[in-house]
Amino acid sequence: MADPLASARAQATQITNQLAADQQHLDALSQQYDAAQQQVQQLGQQVTQIRGTIAQDRTEVTQDQGNLRAAAVSAYMSGTTDSSLSTLFASGGAEASVAAEYRSVSSGKVAGAIDSLNVAQTHLATQQSQLESAQAQAQTAVDQAGAARRAAEATMADQQATLGRVKGQIASLVAQQQAAAQAAAHAAFLARVNAAPAPTKATGSSSVGATLVNLPVASGAAGAVAAAESQLGVPYRWGGETPGVGFDCSGLTQWAWRQAGVSLPRTAAAQYGAIAHIPLSDLQPGDLVFWGYGGIDHVGMYVGGGSVVHAPSTGDVVRIQGIWGNGLVGAGRP
């Protein structure tokens, strides 16, 4: 039968690898999109320049046409017109004939300029048309690149969502495995405690299963347990001893027992050294349970049913958990 956790991890790896490849593809599409945008902007600038040139040329030729006509009138008024024009005026010709000759002279003098303008405008109009066509094609490329990029982003968003769900499955499966392992360890611990011989005398030993004296249940134990359980869900905070804000392990046990009128030292090691040690088989609610490797570094309060309430570690919260055997040193009663 396939291992669900292994399958989920394999799926997560596959999605992660695919996301990496898709990210490279998206980067390439983004570069294409940016390049197409830049080309559209450049072509747009060129079209604007061409249009400006055409407008400027039209203005200049219009001005030149007006100047030439003014020059023709001036020539007529000063008597320097050609003989045919002088003849018309000298013979007392009609105003219509004079006007016709004036238009002929003026038009003749600007004809070359107008022809040049028409040629230039035709050339510029052709350039403008070509540029506008190229600009339209570039805009099409921009639209296509943008659509491709949006499609790639949507695909990656779907993959990210799938990866998130798979990671959630992995976390759930890991938590289930850890809970199963913890339950097995707790069951083994309880079996070992139940199999231990009854205590006969106090020896001062701190090891599990040592022969230690049974003591009366501590006065105020119920109040201490109630106080500790009132802080369930409060974040772990190293050095913390403030209700509703944060506790470390010994800060929680010290504060909880203080609510019952019992004073305890601040650290787990000091608490272990300050109270009477009892056999694990005699645990009662309110008793303290200690762990450590080469020294006492963690403490919890027994709440019954083989469980303790404690502030585990950074990133965790005050919670109830079954007693575990790893590093277990012993128990004590305030």
d(C-alpha 206, C-alpha 223), whole Å = 26
The pLDDT confidence band at residue 287, using thresholds 50, 70 and 90, is very high
Average of per-residue pLDDT across 94-114: 53
Task: Tell me the helices (H) and strands (E) count for the chain, helix number first.
Answer: 6, 8
Domain spans, the chain: 4-180, 196-333
Q: What is the pLDDT of residues 79-103, one digit of tens each?
A: 554 444 444 444 444 445 545 555 5
Q: How many CB atoms lie within 10 A of CB 223?
A: 16
Lowest-pLDDT choice from 108-117, 160-169, 244-253, 311-320: 108-117
Q: Residue 226 pLDDT more than 70?
A: yes
Side-chain-side CA neighbours of 315 within 13 Å: the count stands at: 0
pLDDT digits (tens, 9 = 90+) for 40-53: 788 778 778 877 77
Q: What is the CATH number of domain 196-333?
A: 3.90.1720.10
pLDDT at 40: 79
Residue 174 and residue 186: Cα distance in Å, rounded?
18
Please state, for a pLDDT cut of 90, what percent of the chain lies above it.
Answer: 33
What is the secondary structure of 113-126 as a DSSP string? Answer: HHHHHHHHHHHHHH
The catalytic site residues sit at 249, 298, 310
pLDDT at 288: 97
Across 1-22, average pLDDT: 86
In this model, does residue 322 exceed pLDDT 60? Answer: yes
Distance in Å from the first CA to the final CA of the chain:
51
Looking at every residue in the chain, the average pLDDT score rounds to: 79
Higher pLDDT, 29 or 277: 277
CA distance 227 to 255: 8
Report the run of H or E that residue 210 belongs to, with start and end: none
At 302 the pLDDT is 96
Q: What is the pLDDT of residue 291?
A: 96
pTM value? Answer: 0.45
Q: Which residue has the higher pLDDT, 278 or 72?
A: 278
User: Bigger pLDDT: 323 or 88?
Assistant: 323
- The pLDDT tens digits of the residues spanning 137-170 come to 878 878 888 888 888 889 889 888 998 998 998 9
Q: Supply the CATH classification number for the domain 4-180.
A: 1.10.287
pLDDT of residue 206: 39
Average pLDDT of the residues in 316-332: 92
The yes-or-no verdict on residue 74 having pLDDT over 50 is yes
- How many Å apart are CA 296 and CA 288, to the nearest integer? 12
